[in-house]
Structure 1
Amino acid sequence: MQTSTRYTDGGGINLPKGLIRTLKARAVLIDMEEGVVNELLQGPLRDVFDNKQLISDVSGSGNNWAVGYKQYGNQYRDHILDILRKTAEHCDSLQCFFLIHSMGGGTGSGLGTYVLSLLEDEFPEVYRFVTSVYPSAEDDVITSPYNSVLAMKELTEHADCVLPIENQSLVDIINKINQVASSGKMAAAVKVRSTLASSQTEVKRQEKPFDAMNNIVANLLLNLTSSSRFEGSLNMDLNEITMNLVPFPRLHYLVSSLTPLYTLADVNIPTRRLDQMFTDAFSKDHQLMHADPKRNLYLACALMVRGNVQISDLRRNIERLKPSLQFVSWNREGWKTSLCSIPPVGHTHSLLALANNTCVKSTFTDLKDRFVKLYKRKAHIHHYLHVDGMEQSCFTEATNSLQSLIEEYNQLDATKGQILNNVPRLSIAM
């Protein structure tokens, strides 16, 4: 008896295994540890990626931003540019670049932000979206505060839009789903061979369930790009996100929240009421970073809905939520909405909310405090200064850039309840 494996594109369309081999992702995969890339090449998606689009080394970056940015950046610059150009040439209509990287390690923070600057130089007219995974306070990489702060300077200067995601938030979300799945009440809801269940259908007991965490980030990108892939009555161009949500060029960090989250964990949860979905999107439990937007100031907000939802449903819920949200005085109607007709597999509707909110400063402040704690003792600084082109002034410039960013958010927070004439003079994005 022959069986055929089928894949899904996130919109409910099944693809035969034979077809998946003819499809190639327009993606460049870079990691200075060949083991990570080799693992991908042995996984179920190995046929999607072209070997010519993979760049790897042997030793890794040693959790050192300077090695990733200064050493490997210079070493692989021409090779990376060549692959980027060839990949971009295959696009009929190049809308933007997505850069996905971690902030705590050396390659993700260093070489990742180096690639970001290359994209700006090579394709200055194409928007650059960055999904950055921030380390938790208990991160096992001791130099992660250095790497993150050094990378933050590059993100602030060279990215058009950044979606910060905290590792700890992902862990907390998965733990909550695990608790629901193992409580007995929802045990039957966990799908066999899902990210939460083993082949014996028992709930996994993983301290760091990376597959499930990565699925959350993948689902964020699926929702973000749904308007470009499917039909809808009110589709949103990707470039409209930056145009509508970033009034000041440096303040381009967006808080993202997803609902339902259970799609990501392969849990069969009954569909919740439509209005509840909008309420959940503004709940802390559905955010991908620890912050409290309701206590801070909104500059703008985007609601990206998938499924059988009407424009009247959107308007009704926006009016219902408005009283509990504080918007800047000069942009009280700062809502951007999109409706895509195709829902995620297994659900009637879903929602991705993107908020440009001053609450992100709490994450940046915590990161700066952890940096200062290490830097005061000059701990591990010599590992960075041994790299050619790296100077101690790089640390000073990075902390000054981060502090300036925090102060800009503080200035806006200080305008709560004030009239337009008292808004501080910040640079307006053109």
Structure 2
Amino acid sequence: MTQSIVVQVGQCGNQIGCRFWDLALREHAAVNKNGVYDEPVSSFFRNVDSRYDDPADIPLGTGKGKIRSLKARAVLVDMEEGVVSEMMKGPLKEVFDFKQLLTDVSGSGNNWAVGHKMYGSQYQETLSDTIRRAAEFCDCLQCFFLIHSMGGGTGSGVGTYILNLLEEEYPDVYRFVTAVYPSAEDDVITSPYNSVLAMRELTEHADCVLPIENQALVDIVEKISRAVPSLRTGKRVYSAAGQVKSGSEISSGQGGVTKTKDEKPFDSMNNLVANLLVNLTSSARFEGSLNVDLNEITMNLVPFPRLHYLVSSQTPLYASSDVCLPPTRLDQMFSDAFSKDHQLIKADPKHSLYLACALMVRGNAEISDIRRNIDRLKPHLKFIHWNLEGWKTGLCSVPPVGQPYSLLTLANNTCVRHTFTELRDRFVRLYKRKAHVHHYTHIDGMELLDFTESLESLTAIVAEYTGLESQMHNPPPPEPRLNIVM
């Protein structure tokens, strides 16, 4: 069994990460009725109870005494200590190892240069040691999952600095990045600078990036609130959370473990992203008849190394920890996953060109169900001429808690260029006036060249996707066949 490490950076990254661990614990509890430390649990959690020689004998909680035997394979980083401190006082506090936390008090001031150039250099050795400690607890480390936002200073700056460290020190371990992009109405005036400066690092040093747009999350939450009246009135729709055993830190059912306080405004949005990660990692945590290994995602969906930005969608949609839209028919679920209302960026992939697409199904479904829906959808989707059968399918037998099945799609689709073009335009509008540039250039190591090179990198990505999309309407002529004269 392989293991993965989740690196949570900044306020956004840590809040999403906290939700991910809550959901992961809940799923393992629903499957692991006896509360035994087994291989699926070990993929993202490690045992810290030395009283048992055989991992199969380790209980997750026994009798009246509490045995806190699980620690998340997580590294928590933030240059403001507020969010991490709150997590270490919350219901999941025992799941996090305080030796794998790194915080400061002053923050990065919404400035990529402060996060990347100043804090990155200042904490380089500590970051390396903290990540190394987490890696040494893994028998077979396969992947790093980096979660951060693009608009703030710590998420974009320190987050991409850590990404560079991971490539340098663990070049053979896959680097998956979940990056939350700011909306056009973002209240951080420098967010276009931070996002574009960070994007150059993501393009150069990540294996796979899942861009998430804040505005898309807002729209989905509003969609769910219209469908579920209780969300509009603020009524709590939580079911009771049963426990595996008394004292266990894994709880089952739909209640989860984070219900001691009212939800915060961004919790619904964070839950959407956390569910994306839970579904993405399901094949690494549970068995299935056609599981997708994480390295297969990069292998099948990234035909060009720099074009590794994957558009994601999922169904059913979750708003809070416990509320999702009512279950739909399986075939309708496939249709929904390709509609613009379910995309986690503001784009419609049906009107653009697919380079490749992955369908990751969980639960009570068969391979024939997947094949039937691919055949049904194919005539309405445009694939590039050299990869007309560019489908990767996966089937994990364990469904999400409380649902019969779910579907996550990951698509390398040229529609992502619209998000990047809008971001570039916002950057240019600021940079033409050199607005706020002095806040960046006064940081040691930061130069105007960083702005221009980052803009050039983003422009090149947009141009590559645009060039590929042009083949949707004007495919190149077929290669001439070689005639062999006998």
> What is the TM-score of this pair, normalised by structure 1?
0.90
Q: What is the CA distance between 1:386 and its match in structure 2?
A: 0.7
Q: Hey, what does 2:109 align to over in structure 1?
A: 62
2:216 maps to 1:169:
yes
Native 8 Å contact 2:217 2:272 kept in 1: yes
**What one-letter code is carried by the residue in structure 2 that aligns with 1:107?**
T
Partner in structure 1 of residue 190 of structure 2: 143
Instruction: Tell whether 2:110 aligns with 1:92.
Output: no
Structure 1's 190 and 388: CA in aligned 2 closer, same or farther, altered over 3 A?
same
Q: Distance in 1 between matches of 2:229 and 2:125?
A: 50
Q: 1:398 to 1:270 in 2, by over 3 A?
A: closer
Structure 2: how far apart are the matches of 1:354 and 1:189? Answer: 32
Distance 1:33 1:189 in 2: 30
Aligned to 1:12: 30
Kept in 2, the 8 Å contact 1:20–1:48? The answer is no
Task: Tell whether the 8 Å contact from 2:80 to 2:106 is kept in structure 1 after alignment.
Answer: yes
Shift of 1:189: 9.8
RMSD between superposed Cα atoms in Å: 2.7
Task: Give the whole-Å Cα distance in 2 for the aligned partners of 1:158 and 1:318.
Answer: 33
Deviation at 1:246, TM superposition (A): 0.1
Q: Which amino acid aligns with 2:188?
A: V
**How is 1:6-405 mapped onto 2 (pairs within 5 angstroms)?**
8-9=26-27, 12-13=30-31, 21-182=68-229, 190-191=237-238, 209-262=265-318, 264-267=320-323, 269-405=325-461
Deviates more, 1:344-353 or 1:411-420: 411-420
Question: Cα deviation per residue 1:266-304 (whole Å; 9 max; x = unaligned)?
Answer: 226542111011011111111111011111000000000
AA aligned to 2:166 is: L
CA gap of 1:239–1:55, structure 2 versus 1, over 3 A, is same
Q: In 2, distance between residues paired with 1:265 and 1:339?
A: 23
Aligned equivalents of 2:232 and 2:109: distance in 1? Answer: 45
Deviation at 1:170, TM superposition (A): 1.1
Q: Could you tell me how far apart the structure 2 residues matched to 1:263 and 1:136 are?
A: 19
Give CA deviations for 1:323-368 in whole Å, capped at 9, x if unaligned. Answer: 1100000000000000000000011100000000000000000001
Tell me, yes or no, if the aligned pair for 1:68 and 1:110 is still in contact at 8 Å. Answer: yes
The verdict on how the C-alpha distance between 1:210 and 1:422 changes in structure 2, with shifts beyond 3 A counting, is farther
Counterpart secondary structure, 1:267: coil
The answer to whether the Cα contact below 8 Å between 1:180 and 1:186 also exists between their aligned partners in 2 is no
1:146 shift after superposition: 0.3
SS in 1 for 2:177: strand
Alpha-carbon distance, 1:388 to partner: 0.2
Deviations 1:198-253 (A, max 9, x none): 99x9xx9x9x7211111111111111111111110001100000000000001000
In the alignment, residue 262 of structure 1 is paired with which amino acid? Answer: Y
Contact 1:11 1:342 in 2 (8 A): no
Identity of aligned residues (%): 67
Q: Distance in 2 between matches of 1:93 and 1:407?
A: 38
Q: How far apart are residue 180 of structure 1 and its match? A: 2.2
SS at match of 1:302: strand
One-letter amino acid of the structure 2 residue matched with residue 210 of structure 1: F
Unaligned runs of at least 5 residues, structure 2: 1-21, 36-59, 241-253, 480-486
Is the contact made by 2:316 and 2:324 (CA closer than 8 Å) also made in structure 1?
no
Q: Contact 2:156–2:198 at 8 Å: present in 1 too?
A: yes
2:317–2:325 Cα contact (<8 Å) kept: no
Q: Which letter maps to 2:220?
A: I
Amino acid at match of 1:103: M
**In the TM superposition, what whole-angstrom CA distance separates every residue of 1:15-41 from its partner, at most 9, and x where no partner exists?**
566678211011110000011211111
- TM-score (normalised: structure 2): 0.80
2:478, 2:160 → 1: CA distance? Answer: 36
Structure 1, residues 293-325: CA drift from partner, whole Å, max 9, x if none? Answer: 111000000000000111110100000000110
- C-alpha distance in 2, partners of 1:361/1:37? 34
Unaligned runs of 5+ in 1: 424-430
Q: Which amino acid aligns with 1:94?
A: L
**Counterpart Cα distance in 1 of 2:447 and 2:221:** 40
Verify the 8 A CA contact 1:11 1:345 in the aligned structure 2. no
Q: Give the number of equivalent residue pairs.
A: 413
Distance in 1 (alpha carbons) for counterparts of 2:434 and 2:343: 35
Deviation at 1:262, TM superposition (A): 3.4
Q: Following TM superposition, by how much is the alpha carbon of 1:188 offset from its aligned partner in structure 2, in angstroms? A: 9.2
